[in-house]
Amino acid sequence: MHKPITEPTPYPEVNDVLYRLHTESSAVLGQEFVGLYLYGSLATGDFNLQRSDIDFLIVTAHFLPEETIAALEKMHHGFAKSDNKWDRKLEGLYMPLAELRHYKEQGPELPTVNERHFYIARQGSDWVIQRHLLREHETIVAGHSIRDYIDPVSPQEMRTAVCAIMHNWWAPMIDDPAWLDGRPEYQAFAVQTLCRVLYTLKFSSAVSKTKATQWALEALDEEWKGLIAAAAGWPDTWPTDLHQVQDFIHYTNDQCLPDESNGPA
């Protein structure tokens, strides 16, 4: 068995959940278990105890048979029903080692955990960014390094990926803000995420939402600074003007308009 790192994060409650995830998943997977890794805010140093999820990747030796996937589903159902809020914060997927190399838009469907649901799905375009984080900010809970199994993500791939995320997820909220309406915490999350999109478009690199927000406060036009500062200070302060958040989505989406020579702006 691959022994876990004693304290993979600075947060004892998170480490307890990761230890349980490692113990239970490796028991289900047996020789198929290659390693457990973190991406997202735990990898970038942006983790927020109030609102962050525990983003994980479990690498397997091969594609998993149906009976193993069923056993994983049962295991994750136990996490979802737990009284421990951190058990319910797990989000990630199970990926064969050979699939790590680069993102495929029409890649295989893989066991996925999101918002306490377990299902089989293809990776979204955000997995271009996640691969970059796994490679450049490798955070190992258990197993060996997978950095050399992941190709470097090019600047163009980074920009294309964040624009796909904008068009597919955020842009529809300009006309249909159901995901945002009445959810101040998600509005603040949206604004900081959009700051990170703008940072990636500018620098072709992924940083934490906190760093991207700090950059945006200095770099963007004055009209956005009040909104961004309020998002950075959530939950202590937050404006209730949903339309301003939608305007910021519109502004960010406009930065993804294609350039005939260089692709997304």
pLDDT at 57 over 80: yes
- Structure confidence by residue, pLDDT tens digits, 3-25: 666 789 999 999 999 999 999 99
Q: Is there a single domain that holds both residue 208 and residue 80?
A: no
Among candidate residues 51, 57, 59, the one with its CA nearest the CA of residue 89:
51
- Structure confidence by residue, pLDDT tens digits, 88-141: 999 999 999 999 999 998 999 999 999 899 999 999 999 999 999 999 999 999
Q: What are the distances in angstroms from CA 160 to CA 174, 202, 242? A: 20, 12, 27
Q: State the Cα–Cα distance between residues 170 and 195, nearest whole angstrom.
A: 13
Respond yes or no on whether the N-terminal peptide bond of residue 235 is cis (omega within 30° of 0).
yes
Domain end (from 149, 174, 209): 149
What's the confidence (pLDDT) of residue 1? 56
- Total domains, the chain: 2
Domain CATH for 56 = 3.30.460.10
13 exposure class (CB count in 10 Å sphere: 0-12, 13-18, 19+) = middle
Domain hosting residue 218, numbered range: 155-264
- For the residues 233-241, what does the mean pLDDT come to? 74
Q: State the Cα–Cα distance between residues 11 and 84, nearest whole angstrom.
A: 14
Domain end (from 130, 149, 168): 149
Cβ(140)–Cβ(37) below 8 Å: yes
Residue 245's CB is within 10 A of a number of other CB atoms, namely 25
Q: What are the distances in angstroms from CA 19 to CA 12, 108, 160? A: 10, 28, 35
Residue 65's CB is within 10 A of a number of other CB atoms, namely 10
Q: Please give the structure tokens belonging to residue 229.
A: 């500062």
pLDDT at 260 over 60: no
Q: Is there a single domain that holds both residue 125 and residue 165?
A: no
- For the residues 32-46, what does the mean pLDDT come to? 93
Q: Is there a single domain that holds both residue 211 and residue 229?
A: yes
- For the residues 32-40, what does the mean pLDDT come to? 96
In a domain, 23, yes or no: yes
Share of the chain above pLDDT 90, in %: 80
Q: Is there a single domain that holds both residue 84 and residue 117?
A: yes
Structure pTM?
0.87
Q: Please give the structure tokens belonging to residue 135.
A: 């490679």
Q: State the Cα–Cα distance between residues 252 and 216, nearest whole angstrom.
A: 12
Q: Is there a single domain that holds both residue 131 and residue 181?
A: no
Show the DSSP H helices in 89-154 as ranges.
126-136
In a domain, 4, yes or no: no
Strand pairing partners for 96? Answer: 60
* Residue with more model confidence, 47 or 36: 36
Q: Is there a single domain that holds both residue 184 and residue 130?
A: no
In a domain, 139, yes or no: yes
Cβ(24)–Cβ(111) below 8 Å: no
Q: Is there a single domain that holds both residue 16 and residue 135?
A: yes
pLDDT at 258 over 60: yes
In a domain, 109, yes or no: yes
- For the residues 233-260, what does the mean pLDDT come to? 83
What's the confidence (pLDDT) of residue 172? 97
Q: Is there a single domain that holds both residue 40 and residue 104?
A: yes
Q: Is there a single domain that holds both residue 162 and residue 76?
A: no
Q: Is there a single domain that holds both residue 72 and residue 39?
A: yes
Q: State the Cα–Cα distance between residues 126 and 158, nearest whole angstrom.
A: 9
Q: Is there a single domain that holds both residue 141 and residue 164?
A: no
Q: State the Cα–Cα distance between residues 73 and 117, nearest whole angstrom.
A: 9
Domain end (from 149, 181, 209): 149
What's the confidence (pLDDT) of residue 239? 63
Q: Is there a single domain that holds both residue 113 and residue 239?
A: no
- Structure confidence by residue, pLDDT tens digits, 156-204: 999 999 999 999 999 999 999 999 998 888 899 899 999 999 999 999 8
In a domain, 131, yes or no: yes
In a domain, 44, yes or no: yes
